[in-house]
Chains A and B, each alone.
Chain A
C-alpha cells in the first residue's frame, strides 16, 4: 500500500476517538426493505459497545503446585470439568446425540438402502418426549434435523443393518411400538360358536355365530318379533347380508341398553366381529359394507349458557 494512503486511512480511523462521533443520519433499519433477518455484522456498522479483549496470558506466574506426598493426596489432584464436550451449548445431551448420529451416518452411508416406504415401521419419539427425556430446551428445527438422520439410518437394508446402528436408534423409539400389543385372536369353541361384541350409543350386544341354516334369535325372540322396523332387521344382520351368507350361519344374540335402533346397530358390529372369526378374509368386504368401524357418535352433553348441546337462547339486542 502507498505510504500516504495508509497514513490517511489510519488518521481517519483514529480521528473518531479524539472528537465526538459522527451522527448517523438515517438509521439502516428504516430504509431496510428486506424481509429476512440480517446478521448483526451486516446491519450495524459500529458495535453497540466498544470493548477490549482480555489481557494476554502470563504463563510464568501461573504454574500449578508440584505435589509431593502427605495427607490428603487425592484432593490435591482433583479438578472439576464438564461431563460432556458440548457443555457450553447448554444442551449437552442433544448436541452429543446429534454429533454421534452424524458420525455414525458417515460411517454407514455406503451400505445398501431400501426405500423409506419399505423401511421397518417405527414409532419415533416426539419432540416433547425427547425434551422430557433430556430435560433440555431443544429447538424444534434442530430436533427434526436429528430425526431426519435417524430415519435415514432406519432405511439401511435390514439384512446388512449393523448392531451399533440398531442400538443408536433404540434411544429414539417410543417405548411401545405399533406391533407390540396384539389382541388375542377370536376362538371358535367346541360347538362351532364364535362370539362378537358390538356397541352403539348406549346399547351393547353380544352375538354368537355358528354355521347353520339362517336362524336368528335376539333376546329369545326372532328377528321379526324383536325389530318392528324393516330397516333395523336388515342392519342387525347386515354383515351376513352384505357377504351373501344369510343362509349359512345361525345367530344367537343378547342386547341391552339404549333403544331399538341402537341395539340393531350394535348387533351389526357384533355379528361382523363374530363372522370375522369364522372367515378372516372377509375383512375388506365387511369394511366396504361399513360393519367394521365402531360408530363413535354419542349424545352430546348440554353446556352452560346453551339451552341444549348446541341450541343457544334467543339473541337479545339489549
Chain B
C-alpha cells in the first residue's frame, strides 16, 4: 500500500517524532531564510513519506486481494490495529458505555458528575409535590432544580444502606421498569449479586408470593456462595422468598410494588423527582428520574456499593465469620426421614399463618363434635358423605 500525503495529513505527530531539525541546527551555522526553510520542510515531508511507505511495504507477504468474507474481515481487523489510533486525540469526554461497563463508586460521586448527568433537573413547578420542598434548590425557566448537595448526601446514604445489607447477605432487588433502564438495573444487580426487574412488577409477588413466585427455583448456598446439593425436597416445602431491600428507579410507575413492600416491612430506596411522593420510600434519593444518564449513575453507584458489601461478606466468610442469620428448619439430607415430621420452626410459622386467617377452620371439627354429642344421646347422626 502506498500512502500519499499521509505525512502531510498526520504531520504534527509524524514530524515531531522524526524531526531532523535539532540535528540540522546543531550542524549548521547559517541562519535560514523563509524560502530555504520551506524547501527543507518539503524535502523532509517527502523523505517521511518514503519512510512510511518502506515501513508499510515490509509486512505484506500475502499481497493478494482477499476473496472470501472471512479473509476480508480478518484483514480489516488487522488494518484497524495499525491505523485505528491515528487521527485527532480527543480530550477525555463522556462515553455512554462507561457508565454501564465501569460505573462510578460511591467515592466517585461528585457534584460535577451529578450535574453532568442532569440529576438536578426537576419537573415544572405546577406539578410538584410540596413534600419535596426541602430537596429543591430553586426555580429556573419554570422548572424546579434539585439541590445536588442534597442528592449527593442521600445517594451516599443509600449506598451505605445497600453495602450493609449486602454485607449481611440480604437480598437486594433493583427495579427499573422504564425504557432504557433495563441495562442499568441488570448491571447493578450483577455487581451487587442481587436481583433485577425491568419488566412490569406483577402485583402480589410479595403479598401473594406462593401463587406467583411459587414455581421459581431456589437453592441452598453456604457462606462462600457455593451451592450445596441435596436440599431440593426441603426447598419445595419452604415459603417463597422476599427481598430484604428494594431499590426502585421509577417509583411513580411502581406504586403497587412500594405498597407491598410497606405492608411487609421491606425498606425501599427510590429516585424521587420533584413530582414524586417521598413518603412512598424509606430512603429517598432526590434526583431526576427521566434522565437515563442520571439513572445509570445512581444504579451504578448502588451496584458498586453492593459489590463492596459482598466483598466484605466473602472476606469475613473466608475467615470463618458468618455475617447473616442462617436458614431455620433445614435438615441434613441423610437425616430427612427421621425428622420429617419435626420441623419446629417451620411448623410454628405455618401455625401462626393459619391462626391469622380466621376463615380457615378445621372442617372435620364441628362434624366430629356433633357425632360425639349424638353418640352420647344414643341417636346416630346421618352422615352425608360427599
A residues lining the B interface (CB < 8 Å): 1, 6, 9-10, 12-13, 39-41, 47, 49, 51-57, 59, 62-67, 72, 74-90, 92, 95, 99, 111-112, 135-136, 142, 157, 159-160
Q: Which residues from 266 to 294 on chain B have a C-beta closer than 8 Å to any C-beta of chain A?
A: 266-268, 277, 279-283
Whether B265 sits at the interface, judged by CB under 8 Å, is yes
How far apart sit A259 and B265, CA to CA, in the bound complex (Å)? 81
Given known A52-B262, A67-B321, contact A82–B195 (CB-CB < 8 A): yes
A83 touches B194 (CB 8 A): no
User: Taking CB as reference atom, which chain B residue is nearest A42?
Assistant: B252
Smallest CB–CB gap between A295 and chain B, Å?
46
Contact pick for B139, options A1, A57, A159, CB 8 Å: A1
With an 8 A cutoff between CB atoms, is B20 at the interface?
no
> Hey, which chain B residues are within 8 Å of A62, CB to CB?
168
> Within 8 Å of chain A (Cβ to Cβ): is B332?
yes
Is B2 located at the chain interface by the 8 A CB criterion? no
* B253 cross-chain contacts in A, Cβ below 8 A: 39-41
Q: Nearest Cβ distance between residue A156 and chain B, in whole angstroms?
A: 11
The yes or no answer to B259 lying at the interface (CB within 8 A) is yes
Interface-located stretch among B27-35, B37-45, B66-74, B375-383: B66-74
- B130 to A9, Cβ gap below 8 A? yes
Cβ-defined partner of A53 (8 Å) among B218, B267, B322, B326: B267
Residues from chain B with a CB closer than 8 A to the CB of A78 are: 220-222, 228, 231, 326-327, 330
Is B14 part of the binding interface, using a Cβ–Cβ cutoff of 8 Å? no
B152 within 8 A of A: no
What is the distance, in angstroms, from B332's C-beta to the closest C-beta of chain A?
7
Please name 16 pairs of A and B residues whose Cβ atoms are closer than 8 Å in the assembled complex, sorted by A.
Answer: A40-B255, A53-B282, A54-B266, A54-B282, A56-B267, A64-B323, A64-B326, A65-B325, A77-B222, A79-B169, A79-B221, A80-B330, A81-B220, A85-B194, A86-B196, A159-B70
Q: Decide if B314 is an interface residue (CB 8 Å cutoff).
A: no
Q: In the docked arrangement, what's the CA distance between A67 and B186, Å? A: 33
A-chain residues with CB within 8 Å of residue B73 when the two chains form the complex: 111-112, 157, 160
Point out the residues of chain A lying under 8 angstroms from B280, CB to CB: 51, 53
**Which residues of B are in contact with A by a Cβ distance under 8 Å?**
68-70, 73, 130-131, 133, 136, 138-139, 161, 164-165, 168-169, 171, 173, 186, 189-190, 194-197, 199, 201-202, 205, 212-213, 215-223, 228, 231, 235, 238, 241, 243, 252-253, 255, 258-259, 261-268, 277, 279-283, 320-327, 330-332
Residues of B within 8 A of A77 (CB): 222-223, 322, 326
Contact A55/B282 with A64-B325, A159-B68 known, Cβ cut-off 8 Å: yes
Q: Check if B266 sits within 8 Å of A74, measured CB to CB.
A: no
With A51-B280, A111-B73 known as contacts, the answer to whether A85 contacts B222 (CB < 8 A) is no
Min distance, Cβ A220 to any Cβ of chain B, angstroms: 61
Closest B residue to A75 by beta carbon equals B330
Q: Which of B130, B139, B201, B222 contacts A12 (CB 8 A)?
A: B130
Given known contacts A40-B255, A56-B282, A111-B73, A90 and B267 CB-to-CB distance under 8 angstroms? no
Q: How far is the CA of A136 from the CA of B325 in the complex (A)?
A: 32
- B321 to A: closest C-beta gap in Å: 6
Contact B138 A83 (CB under 8 A): no
CB pair A82 B216 closer than 8 Å = yes
Contact A88/B197 with A13-B130, A53-B281 known, Cβ cut-off 8 Å: yes
Residue pair A88, B327 in contact (C-beta under 8 Å): no
Query: Contact check: which of B133, B165, B235 meets A10 at CB < 8 Å?
Result: B133
B354 shortest CB reach to chain A, Å: 22
Closest 7 CB pairs of A and B: A13-B130, A83-B217, A159-B70, A41-B252, A64-B324, A53-B282, A77-B223
Least CB separation from B275: chain A residue:
A41
